Amino acid sequence: MDTPSPLTHHTPAAGTVLGRLDALADGSATMGELPAPDALTHKPFRYLLLRSGDTVKAYENRCAHFGVPLAARQDLLIFQPHASISCNVHYARYRWSDGVCESGDCVGEALPAIAVQLDAQGNICMVGDGPAP
């Protein structure tokens, strides 16, 4: 009997809109998710948007420790505005500015960064396909 292949992560294309700047409060960390076109073979694309002023950092919502989302729901997401965001499984703490783990079981590893830019309408758009390798 064949072993089913594991699901791979959906990687949206460049230009995909992940959110709007005016929907994010300054200092907020927000979870988002885009469904995979084929849920049988791909996991949804889960991401985090962190706003500081008019700057938005985007990371894939995948802990460097065990590869799981940092939180199961938005209200469970642990963060210190403009400073850090933490996984609520084993509490790895990642720097806001670059996603690098500075405390916990995966120190020195990082959340996969997603390059984004704001368009003229205030949409947060992906620059490349998926997170940086």
How far apart, in whole angstroms, are the C-alpha atoms of residue 111 and residue 103? 13
Identity of the residue, 107 or 132, whose beta carbon is nearer to ligand FES in the bound complex: 107
The residue ranges that bind ligand FES (CB under 6 A) are: 63, 65-66, 68, 87, 89-90, 92, 104-105
Identity of the residue, 21 or 101, whose beta carbon is nearer to ligand FES in the bound complex: 101
We find the least distance from the C-beta atom of residue 87 to ligand FES, in angstroms, to be: 3
- Which residue is listed with tokens 């292949």? 5
Q: Are 16 and 48 in contact (CB under 8 A)?
A: no
We find the least distance from the C-beta atom of residue 120 to ligand FES, in angstroms, to be: 37
Identity of the residue, 89 or 125, whose beta carbon is nearer to ligand FES in the bound complex: 89
How far apart, in whole angstroms, are the C-alpha atoms of residue 85 and residue 94? 5
Identity of the residue, 49 or 71, whose beta carbon is nearer to ligand FES in the bound complex: 71
Q: Are 7 and 43 in contact (CB under 8 A)?
A: yes
We find the least distance from the C-beta atom of residue 88 to ligand FES, in angstroms, to be: 8
Residue type, 60: E
Q: Are 45 and 56 in contact (CB under 8 A)?
A: no
